[in-house]
């Protein structure tokens, strides 16, 4: 398609007219238009245009001076837009469509809400929730920039308010004023710059803050004690409808029990405080919903590739027919994806690098979610749509995980007792995935947890199963595309059969594995290298146990442990609503010469009840707890349909 012409505009415009100034609606969709084809001189002649459709073109940007003062409806779906600031030229815009622009993120959604005060609908949905989120962020950023101004000017001293000092303030504010998750950093820096420049222009006396309406305080409902046991994810469980909002409660500091133990007893325990309690998966947004199951959560990969110490505070949770993406700092549900009729059991992140048609490299954090229906949905979270669906298994998928070294390799484990390795590939020009099956791994029992072997993740895969712990060879240079378990592990001395169910499994470092379920009341730390070196030609193989960690004496199952390798920490919830935290750094540095008594946790983080929730909850089961890589946030999922977020003080 070449440049637009007046004749084409009149052909596609409504009502039909021989004068551009009388056209009120114009359809320019599916013309393969590039940004340079939108001639401002020509389009500015559409003085009465109210509706413009630019969908299904190749636009990377909108010209900043199109001159359409009465435009109320704009459709730009399925293009390659990478910026929304040019939309500010349409102050009367009420409806906007931006679906299928995968390089637009939640930052751009917030910018749209800020730039277009009359906007009512975005992508066919009510824009009020995004507007509220933007207003909350704007209020907090305004307060922080103002406080930064006062501190900056106090340090500057009287009589030194030069233009250079003012410019330095703006740079300082953009650098130092932070709020919200990493995923919103682009928006926050954009607003901080605007606020600080406005503050400088007014001499520090005025900042126009967006009006924030007072919302009524939410009523506190009564939670009844839940006696039903947290069961295994059953394919016959009935999926539930979910709300679109969250419920949050402030709370006092969490109760701590226990203290430092072991050789590192001089180290103080972590100081953690409960930050948010969210109920964003409940049916019909009802606080009385205690049936919607929450199954898994995973922190988003850090956005700054190669940045030392970079970590994410954004976590994805799944339960019922929804996947939520939550900012742990603010408690805001950034995104929610629903699949009616589904019940999600597992989520996993990967970071992809794609190249646009213009040759630009873009980084995507893609979220995979799977569950009851045996389907894997690949979600482009920041753009807010599902990029592809893999029909992976005929039965429910219990868990999934991405390879830590091959960003497109995804393992799925199903109730059909099979694990399949997929290559999801990279999306095509329509941003769709075409997955291919690489391997099928057969198991003798249902796989519950998957764990690529840390020192050789491209060679071996560990799985905690209903019948024990198993290992498969997953090297792709081997001819067999369907393989049986290569090694089964036993945890008790003298046993000739695999152990009982293993429902917790994770590497603490390159060699040490933490597993749970082989014995009551303990978590086992064992050496992969020593165990593997002594396997010989026989299976099962006894693991080389380095230490045991004291855990709850419950005989209940399906409490998933997790690790924070950067900090040498193991975490696990229990049936009493507690989070057990173990510092195993000394074991990693120098394992004890002989197996000693189980090591106690450095602390037990108690669920802050009933004061925190304001209701007589007597028992809360924490079935999943995950920390981000810097151990600044902990996210716990409970059997009372509540997501809890703790923050390190």
Do 508 and 368 belong to one domain?
yes
From the list 583, 640, 8, 539, the residue with the least C-alpha distance to 261 is 583
Do 189 and 286 belong to one domain?
no
Do 169 and 80 belong to one domain?
no
Task: Please indicate, yes or no, whether the overall pTM of this predicted structure exceeds 0.85.
Answer: no
pLDDT in tens, 453-476: 999 999 999 999 999 999 999 999
Do 516 and 390 belong to one domain?
yes
Domain count within the chain: 3
Do 526 and 399 belong to one domain?
yes
Residue 229: inside a domain, yes or no?
A: no
Q: What are phi and psi of 577, to 5 degrees?
A: 85, 20
Alpha-carbon distance of 209 to 70, in angstroms, equals 26
Is residue 611 very low, low, confident or very high in pLDDT (cuts 50, 70, 90)?
very low
pLDDT in tens, 330-339: 888 888 888 8
Q: What's the distance, CA 172 to chain centroid?
A: 30
Residue 358: inside a domain, yes or no?
A: yes
Is residue 258 very low, low, confident or very high in pLDDT (cuts 50, 70, 90)?
very low
Residue-range definition of the domain harbouring residue 103: 6-126
Beta bridge partners of 603: 581
Do 289 and 320 belong to one domain?
yes
What count of other Cβ atoms lies within 10 Å of the Cβ of residue 148?
Answer: 19
Q: Chain-wide mean pLDDT for the chain?
A: 81
Residue 267: inside a domain, yes or no?
A: no
Lowest average pLDDT, out of 50-59, 142-151, 235-244, 324-333, goes to 235-244
pLDDT of residue 99: 86
Length of the chain: 649
Residue 69: inside a domain, yes or no?
A: yes
pLDDT of residue 207: 56
From the list 132, 84, 86, the residue with the least C-alpha distance to 112 is 84
Do 296 and 423 belong to one domain?
yes
pLDDT of residue 103: 79
3-state secondary structure 348-414: EEEEEEEECCCCCEEEEEEEEEEECCCEEEEEECCCCEEEEEEECCCCCEEEEEECCCCCCEEEEEE
Beta bridge partners of 516: 504, 523
- Per-residue pLDDT, averaged over 515-542, amounts to 85
Residue 99: inside a domain, yes or no?
A: yes
Residue 248: inside a domain, yes or no?
A: no
Do 191 and 310 belong to one domain?
no
Do 79 and 184 belong to one domain?
no
């Amino acid at each position: 398609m070449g440049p637009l012409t007046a004749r084409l505009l009149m052909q596609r415009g409504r009502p039909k007219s021989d004068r551009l100034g009388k056209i009120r609606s114009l359809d320019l969709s599916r013309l393969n238009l590039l940004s340079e084809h939108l001639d401002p001189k020509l389009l500015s002649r559409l003085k009465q245009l109210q509706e413009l459709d630019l969908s299904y073109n190749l636009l990377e940007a909108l010209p900043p001076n199109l001159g359409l003062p009465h435009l109320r409806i704009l459709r730009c779906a399925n293009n390659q837009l990478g910026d929304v600031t040019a939309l500010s030229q349409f102050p009367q815009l009420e409806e906007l469509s931006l679906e299928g622009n995968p390089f637009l993120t939640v930052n751009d959604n917030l910018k749209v809400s800020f730039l277009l005060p009359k906007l009512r609908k975005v992508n066919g949905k009510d824009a009020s929730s995004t507007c509220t989120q933007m207003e909350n962020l704007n209020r907090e950023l305004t307060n922080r920039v103002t406080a930064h101004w006062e501190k900056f000017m106090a340090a500057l001293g009287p009589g030194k308010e030069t233009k250079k000092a003012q410019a330095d303030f703006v740079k300082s504010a953009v650098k130092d004023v932070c709020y919200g998750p990493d995923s919103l950093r682009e928006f926050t820096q954009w607003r901080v710059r605007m606020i600080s420049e406005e503050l400088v222009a007014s001499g520090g006396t005025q900042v126009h803050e967006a009006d924030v309406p007072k919302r009524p305080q939410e009523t506190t409902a009564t939670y009844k004690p839940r006696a039903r046991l947290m069961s295994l994810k059953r394919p016959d469980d009935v999926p539930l409808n979910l709300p679109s909002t969250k419920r949050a409660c402030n709370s006092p500091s969490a109760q701590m029990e226990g203290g430092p133990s072991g050789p590192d007893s001089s180290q103080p325990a972590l100081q953690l405080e409960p930050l948010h309690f969210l109920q964003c998966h409940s049916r019909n947004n009802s606080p009385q919903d205690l049936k919607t199951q929450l199954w898994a959560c995973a922190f988003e990969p850090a956005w700054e590739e190669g940045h030392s110490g970079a970590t994410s505070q954004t976590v994805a949770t799944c339960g019922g027919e929804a996947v939520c993406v939550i900012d742990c700092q603010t408690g805001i549900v950034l995104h929610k994806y629903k699949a009616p009729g589904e019940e999600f059991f597992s989520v996993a992140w990967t970071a992809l690098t794609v190249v646009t048609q213009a040759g630009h490299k873009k980084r995507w954090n893609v979220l995979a979610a799977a569950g009851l229906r045996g389907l894997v949905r690949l979600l482009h979270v920041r753009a807010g749509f599902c990029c592809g669906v893999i029909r992976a298994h005929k039965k429910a998928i219990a868990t999934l995980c991405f390879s830590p070294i091959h960003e497109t390799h995804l393992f799925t484990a199903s109730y059909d007792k099979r694990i399949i390795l997929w290559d999801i590939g990279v999306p095509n020009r329509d941003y769709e995935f075409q997955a291919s099956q690489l391997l099928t791994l057969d198991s003798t029992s249902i796989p519950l947890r998957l764990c690529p072997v840390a020192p050789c993740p491209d060679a071996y895969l560990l799985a905690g199963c209903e019948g024990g712990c198993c290992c498969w060879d997953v090297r792709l240079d081997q001819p067999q595309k369907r393989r049986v378990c290569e090694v089964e592990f036993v945890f008790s001395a003298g046993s000739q059969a695999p152990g009982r169910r293993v429902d917790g499994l994770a590497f603490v470092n390159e060699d040490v594995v933490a597993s749970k379920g082989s014995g009551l009341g303990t978590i086992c730390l064992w050496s992969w290298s020593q165990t593997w070196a002594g396997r010989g030609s026989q299976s099962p193989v006894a693991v080389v146990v380095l230490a045991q960690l004291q855990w709850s004496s419950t005989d209940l199952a399906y409490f998933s442990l997790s690790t924070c390798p950067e900090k040498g920490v193991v975490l696990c919830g229990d049936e009493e609503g507690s989070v057990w935290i173990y510092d195993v750094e000394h074991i990693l540095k120098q394992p004890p010469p002989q197996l000693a008594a189980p090591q106690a946790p450095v602390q037990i983080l108690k669920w802050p009840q009933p004061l925190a929730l304001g209701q007589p909850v007597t028992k809360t089961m924490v079935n999943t707890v995950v920390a981000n890589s810097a151990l600044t946030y902990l996210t716990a999922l409970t059997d009372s349909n509540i997501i809890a977020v703790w923050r390190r003080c």
